[in-house]
């Protein structure tokens, strides 16, 4: 069976299963089964069981449910309130005022969560009422929150980077290191947008904040100490070479439990609710990864990934042209699939392609994360848009329009990454990382 026929069979089965409402993980298993039995003409049973079990029992993957659980615990603490109280005195005098707490708060929480949705919900539940009460422009409040929450996908510990690393068998710690500087630069770009917009907009007339002395600002900063200690514990242990990503995740869970207990937020109900929430999310992602691994094996038997890579090679695209094609591809795909599904579904085909083109796989992981970040705020399936719709009761069109400037900034970030690849490669190259995370 030719490559074109194989592609059509794979796509037809995938769209039928997804259109019927089948879970993404099971849809991938179904596509892979058809690929093995019909396209490749091989028995799928033993290969399916072995591949799915091997992927699901990966030691590197252990970091994923632990980081998810850590985020679930923190979501149920008073962390967002404390962050706002600690950050607001320092942000108030910047051009754009307290809108910056959306961005800095998301960047801080992203460093202990790894999830875009958890970052958005935790920061948003505190900042939206406070900023509304101070009469900040609604579209700026909503837009910056939608965009800045995507930093949870890039700033370590990032669930998307863990999934990407497991899928292509690369060091999780290297990928985490690669995400630090781009995440920091993207946050600064968001803040620059807020500063410029506040000066140009005629509707930017928030209530002035009371003037605070330097000593009062320092006093309020004590509320940031718990989260800074947790970031230091999780990220610092990895960067210092003391712990792998999995071990750092375990430290993070223990630290989050201690923080919740110290705040009086830890009860048996909080513990069990956070544990079950993490279990549900982890099981969903594990099923997607297992299905994607089986699909990769199935596609390998058909020879499709190599054929597509050879076809791209024959087109003689430059690296830049290939990256632009992949950027558009991921943004379009992200309109219909969540970020993790987009990554695992495509890596079997994309990985040989980028390796053939000589593109650094660590750098490409950050490129993919930026593309997936865009998908989080792209209608009709942009997940952050749905979360914000539930929180603010605004229509999807209003929220998407408010988030449009942030989308444009992410596009600009892609070109910054291409122009200065050292943003993503410098830290991993200068700090030793343990293969496999």
- Condensed to tens digits (0 to 9), the pLDDT of residues 309-320 reads 666 667 778 889
Report the phi/psi class of residue 241: left, alpha or beta, with left for phi > 0 and alpha for psi in -120 to 50: left
Length of the chain, in residues: 437
Please name the residue that has the structure tokens 């969560």. Answer: 113
The helix, strand and coil proportions of the chain, stated in percent and rounded to the nearest 5, come to: 80, 0, 20
Residue 435 lies in a domain: no
Contact by Cβ (8 Å): 374, 326: no
* DSSP for 318-344, written as a single string: -HHHHHHHHHHHHHHHHTTS-HHHHHH
Distance CA 27, CA 33 (A): 10
How far, rounded to the nearest angstrom, does the alpha carbon of residue 247 sit from its chain's CA centroid?
A: 20
Taking CB atoms within 8 Å and a gap of at least 24, the contacts of 420-426 are 421/360, 421/363, 423/181, 423/182, 423/185, 423/366, 424/178, 424/179, 424/181, 424/182, 424/362, 424/363, 424/365, 424/366, 424/367, 425/178, 425/360, 425/362, 425/363, 426/181
Q: Which two tokens stand for residue 347?
A: 């890596």
Which residues form the domain of 383?
3-430
Q: Which helix (H) or strand (E) holds 404?
A: helix 396-419
Greater confidence (351 vs 23) lies with 351
Which pLDDT tens digit goes with each residue over 77-92?
Answer: 777 677 777 888 888 7
Answer whether residue 435 shows pLDDT above 70: no
Answer whether residue 321 shows pLDDT above 80: yes
What percentage of the chain carries pLDDT values higher than 70? 89
Phi, psi values for residue 344, rounded to 5°? -70, -30
Helix (H, G, I), strand (E, B) or coil at 7: helix
- The CB density around residue 64, as the number of other CB atoms within 10 Å, is 27
Answer whether residue 1 shows pLDDT above 80: no
Answer whether residue 199 shows pLDDT above 90: no
Mean pLDDT calculated for residue range 152-167: 84
Distance CA 267, CA 72 (A): 14
Average per-residue pLDDT for the chain: 81
Q: Which two tokens stand for residue 21?
A: 């409402």
Contact by Cβ (8 Å): 326, 365: no
Distance CA 20, CA 338 (A): 17
Contacts of 262 by beta carbon, 8 Å cutoff, 6+ apart: 226
Q: CA–CA distance from 283 to each of 54, 69, 129, 288 (Å)?
A: 15, 12, 34, 9
pLDDT for the residue numbered 60: 66
- Residue among 110, 134, 299, 116 at smallest CA distance from 205: 134
pLDDT for the residue numbered 234: 83
pLDDT for the residue numbered 337: 65
pLDDT band of 332, cuts 50, 70, 90: confident
Phi, psi values for residue 213, rounded to 5°? -75, 165
pLDDT for the residue numbered 305: 61
Distance CA 179, CA 27 (A): 31
Q: Which two tokens stand for residue 321?
A: 């042209």
pLDDT band of 437, cuts 50, 70, 90: very low
Mean pLDDT calculated for residue range 251-280: 87
How far, rounded to the nearest angstrom, does the alpha carbon of residue 21 sit from its chain's CA centroid?
A: 24
What pTM value is reported for the model? 0.76
pLDDT for the residue numbered 242: 83
Which pLDDT tens digit goes with each residue over 203-244?
Answer: 787 877 777 777 888 888 888 888 888 888 887 887 777 887
Distance CA 272, CA 383 (A): 25
Residue 436 lies in a domain: no
Which pLDDT tens digit goes with each residue over 366-401?
Answer: 999 998 888 778 766 666 777 787 778 788 788 889
DSSP designation for 421 = T
Residue 21 lies in a domain: yes
pLDDT for the residue numbered 433: 44
pLDDT for the residue numbered 233: 86
Residue 437 lies in a domain: no
Distance CA 364, CA 371 (A): 10
Q: Which two tokens stand for residue 25?
A: 């993980």
User: How many structural domains is the chain composed of?
Assistant: 1
Contact by Cβ (8 Å): 162, 366: no
Answer whether residue 2 shows pLDDT above 60: no
- Residue among 156, 26, 108, 380 at smallest CA distance from 13: 26
Residue 206 lies in a domain: yes
Which pLDDT tens digit goes with each residue over 95-139?
Answer: 888 888 889 888 887 777 666 777 787 788 778 888 888 888 888
pLDDT band of 306, cuts 50, 70, 90: low
């Amino acid at each position: 069976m030719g490559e074109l026929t194989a592609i059509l069979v794979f796509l037809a089965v995938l769209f039928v299963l997804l259109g019927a409402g089948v879970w993404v993980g099971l849809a991938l298993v179904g596509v892979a089964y058809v690929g093995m039995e019909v396209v490749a003409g091989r028995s799928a049973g033993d290969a399916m069981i072995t591949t799915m079990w091997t992927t699901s029992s990966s030691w590197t993957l252990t970091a994923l449910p632990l980081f998810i659980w850590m985020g679930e615990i923190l979501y149920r603490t008073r962390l967002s309130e404390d962050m706002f109280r600690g950050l607001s005195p320092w942000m108030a005098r910047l051009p754009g005022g307290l809108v910056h707490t959306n961005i800095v708060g998301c960047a801080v929480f992203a460093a202990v969560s790894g999830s875009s949705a958890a970052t958005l919900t935790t920061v948003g539940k505190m900042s939206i009422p406070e900023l509304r009460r101070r009469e900040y422009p609604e579209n700026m409040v909503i837009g910056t929150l939608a965009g800045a929450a995507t930093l949870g996908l890039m700033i370590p510990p990032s669930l998307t980077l863990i999934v990407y690393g497991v899928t292509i068998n690369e060091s999780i710690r290297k990928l985490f290191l690669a995400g630090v500087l781009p995440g920091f630069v993207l946050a600064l770009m968001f803040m620059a947008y807020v500063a410029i917009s506040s000066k140009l907009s005629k509707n930017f007339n928030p209530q002035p904040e009371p003037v605070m002395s330097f000593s009062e600002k320092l006093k309020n900063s004590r509320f940031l100490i718990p989260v800074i200690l947790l970031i230091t514990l999780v990220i610092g242990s990895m960067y210092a070479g003391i712990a792998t990503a999995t071990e750092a995740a375990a430290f993070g869970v223990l630290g989050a439990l201690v923080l919740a207990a110290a705040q009086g937020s830890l009860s048996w109900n909080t513990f069990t609710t956070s544990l079950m929430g993490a279990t549900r999310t982890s099981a969903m992602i594990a099923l997607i990864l297992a299905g994607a691994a089986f699909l990769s094996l199935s596609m390998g038997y058909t020879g499709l990934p190599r054929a597509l890579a050879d076809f791209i090679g024959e087109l003689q695209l430059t690296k830049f042209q290939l990256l632009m094609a992949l950027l558009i591809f991921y943004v379009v795909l992200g309109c219909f699939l969540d970020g993790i599904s987009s990554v695992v579904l495509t890596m079997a085909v994309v990985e040989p392609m980028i390796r053939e083109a000589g593109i650094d796989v660590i750098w490409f992981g950050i490129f993919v994360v930026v593309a997936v970040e865009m998908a989080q705020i792209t209608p009709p399936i942009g997940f952050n848009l749905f979360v914000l719709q539930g929180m603010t009761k605004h229509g999807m069109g209003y929220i998407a329009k408010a988030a449009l400037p942030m989308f444009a900034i992410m596009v600009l970030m892609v070109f910054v990454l291409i122009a200065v690849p050292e943003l993503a490669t410098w830290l991993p190259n200068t700090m030793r990382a343990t293969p496999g995370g």
